[in-house]
Amino acid sequence: DAKTTQPPSMDCAEGRAANLPCNHSTISGNEYVYWYRQIHSQGPQYIIHGLKNNETNEMASLIITEDRKSSTLILPHATLRDTAVYYCIVRSTSGSARQLTFGSGTQLTVLP
Amino acid sequence: DGGITQSPKYLFRKEGQNVTLSCEQNLNHDAMYWYRQDPGQGLRLIYYSQIVNDFQKGDIAEGYSVSREKKESFPLTVTSAQKNPTAFYLCATLNLQGRYGYTFGSGTRLTVV
């Protein structure tokens, strides 16, 4: 599975959009991009995933570049409760249970 | 409710003692995982299992042991050989046939006293 690179921290004003970038330059054709977030002392929570098209759900939007080497998670109207560590990972759906690497993620702090 | 149950939420252990962390799932997911998380750090894989009675070491398996006697359960034993066991432990499952990602439990915080 491809490795990912994320900035260690970001701030965002409450009510504004939070844009969290992720680089995955070695991603292969059958690997999906997944985003999770972890609020302090809880288990990570699934947010969204995508292959090559942009995706949107009730939590966020995922924008994947045409070459698939990077992506951006967008929280359209950040609230204080969105303060968390956000993890970007890539995974093949080939059926293998091969381990994934969770890096240190991005600590998003939403400021009042 | 479908989900993952990790117990206990908080656990204290004396040095030199073994302790077992429980992870039970009713999601019918094939694969199960144990991760360790230290303060301010990402998740590191301890062990994972794709099918019953089979499991593989992750990046930091030394001092830990697991079993997978049934699909629903994947207990983790922290042995006395683990020199620095104080950490937050997370169990996760994965449906290998689906495109959705991991489901995580709520975690167990282990403290050695």
Query: What confidence tens digit (pLDDT) does each residue in A13-65 have?
Result: 999 999 999 999 988 888 889 999 999 889 999 999 999 989 999 999 999 99
The pLDDT value recorded for residue A60 is 96
Q: How high does pLDDT run on average in chain B?
A: 91
Percent above pLDDT 70 for chain A? 90
DSSP sequence for A28-45: -TTEEEEEEEE-TTS--E
pLDDT of B99 over the 70 cut: no
The pLDDT value recorded for residue A99 is 61
Q: Find chain B residues with C-beta within 8 A of A45's C-beta.
A: 104
Smallest Cβ distance to B101: which of A49, A97, A99?
Answer: A49
What digits encode the pLDDT tens for the residues B67-78?
999 999 999 999
Q: Which residues of chain A are at the B interface, by a Cβ-Cβ cutoff of 8 Å?
A: 32, 34, 36, 41-46, 49, 87, 89, 91, 93, 95-97, 99-105
* CA closest to B58 among chain A residues: A99
- Alpha-helical runs (H) found in A2-103: none
